[in-house]
Chains A and B, each alone.
Chain A
Amino acid sequence: MAGSHKSNITPPRWLLAELTYACPLQCPYCSNPLNYAKYPSELSTDDWKRVLTQARKMGAVQLGLSGGEPLVRKDLSELVKHARQLGYYSNLITSGYGLTEERIVELKQAGLDHIQVSIQASSQELNDHIAGTVSYEHKREVAHLVKKHGYPMVLCVVIHRENIHQMQQILEMAEELGADYLELANTQYYGWAHANRDLLLPTREQFEQAEAIAQAYKERVAGKMKIYYVVPDYYEDRPKACMNGWGTTFLTIAPDGVALPCHSARELPGLDCPNVNDYSIEAIWNESKAFNFFRGFDWMKEPCRSCDEKEKDFGGCRCQAYLLTGDMYNTDPVCSKSPNRHVVQEAIDSAKSASLVPGEKPLIFRNSKNSRDFA
């Protein structure tokens, strides 16, 4: 597999820099690995600058500054400044927690292009419950300050069973806060979200109702606020074109310097994901085993291998195939052509049963104590 597609390798366009796993919030659907506490080391400022420089040289242009909570890094403005000088479009992906007006101005002066603020719900009570931290009023204040200082703002709301009934109010809140974009991100069931799936996965009826509300609102605010809808793939017939194809577009660097073809790939067995402390970005992207692992189509099993849609969705998500079927080479079981499609239906049924006996099982919040239990 490795190296068989070298002539077709496209350069990275998107660099996701997970600056830290530290986070003051405890969202139970966090996309960080369950055992993140096992990886406490963080790249230095100079390491990150080197990574930014090398990836930019290859053609990366969109930069996501993420985490954990990226605001925890004291060198954030310095990194933003370096990114701006290199010509990146930099996106700060934040909970907003701890963001002051002073820092918003400082980041603007450093050249930050955009701030994405997450809000967990449209009411204080539910937001603070899901975030595991009192943060609702602060987040609203941050959203106002982001707009006051001329940034484009994406408001990101992760949708799941506990807040899906608030769809109308979430849309109204986004409009009121002046969001330029509202990202309605149906929970993707990896990491913490997978561990909490029985408590987070809504029913098909709930999805359809919420989607209809969002669709109607989208037309009403056209030209003013764009709405991105991240599809709930458990209720789809075809898998998502995950990462736009493995090793074609996206490069994630985890806090400890491990380079990943997608932010969940650290959970896949046997990839030997390389570290930026040992290799250049160019070597990692072009030569490493991990980045070549699922490039192209030769790795595929049936039904993907002979499928006429494989160039559209690349067989779906490798992490989902691994998580739900135990074999990362399998067709993403979301696909109706997958012989494992029943595992998705079982997950849906299991979540529905759990919803009938509320409170039986508590949410596992994302924090270091719980993470150590998974380590």
Chain B
Amino acid sequence: MTIDPEKNIHFSPTHRLQWEEAQQKDVILYPEGMVELNQSSAEILKLCNGSRKVEQIVEELERKFETTGLGNDINAFLEVALQNGWITQE
């Protein structure tokens, strides 16, 4: 399983991404489990709404944080997210 650059990325319909006030963190919730996210991971996942491909996610985050060269890190994180079932490309 690996990210297809030609396909849009969706956040998994069987997981939930949510801001937790008590923890001051974004978290992913799924059956009987929770993953705490750091800020950059959360920023990436929030853009996985089915309307963007990898390239567009990279562009948007580079624009937002006024930087370049985020491609490798974002790709690596998305691969992990895909392996964990947090995102899909179907």
Contact = CB atoms under 8 A, between A and B. Distances in A.
Interface residues of B, number: 18
A132 interface: no
Contacts of B23: 59
Nearest to B32: A91
Contact of A61 (B13, B31, B34, B85): B34
Interface stretch (B14-22, B41-49, B73-81): B14-22
A98 interface: no
B83 interface: yes
B61 interface: no
B27 A61 contact: yes
Interface residues of A, number: 21
A62 B36 CA distance: 13
Given A113-B16, A152-B14, A223-B1, A89 B22 contact: no
A181 B13 CA distance: 15
A61 B29 contact: yes
Contacts of B33: 62
Given A59-B23, A150-B13, A87 B31 contact: no
A31 to B, nearest CB: 15
A114 B1 contact: no
Determine which residue in B23, B27, B32, B85 has the highest number of CB atoms from chain A within 10 A of its CB, and name it. Answer: B32
A87 B1 CA distance: 32
Contact of B31 (A11, A58, A180): A180
Nearest to A13: B34
Given A152-B31, A154-B31, A61 B83 contact: no
Given A11-B22, A223-B83, A62 B14 contact: no
Contacts of B27: 61
Nearest to A154: B31
A59 B20 contact: yes
A11 B29 CA distance: 17
A114 B31 CA distance: 6
Contact of B32 (A11, A64, A87): A64
Nearest to A150: B13
B83 A62 contact: no
B29 A113 contact: yes
B32 A59 contact: no
Contacts of B15: 152
Contacts of A64: 32
Nearest to A60: B22
A116 interface: yes
Contacts of B16: 89, 113
B8 to A, nearest CB: 19
A116 B32 CA distance: 9
Contacts of A61: 18, 20, 22, 27, 29, 34
B30 A58 contact: no
A13 B27 CA distance: 12
A180 B15 CA distance: 12
A113 B31 CA distance: 8
B88 to A, nearest CB: 11
B50 to A, nearest CB: 16
B62 to A, nearest CB: 30
Nearest to B28: A89
17 contacts: A13-B34, A61-B20, A61-B27, A62-B29, A62-B32, A62-B34, A64-B32, A89-B16, A91-B32, A114-B14, A114-B30, A114-B31, A116-B32, A152-B14, A152-B15, A223-B1, A226-B85
Return the 3 tightest CB-CB contacts between A and B, nearest first: A59-B22, A152-B14, A89-B29
Given A61-B22, A154-B31, 6 more contacts: A61-B18, A61-B34, A62-B34, A89-B18, A91-B32, A226-B85
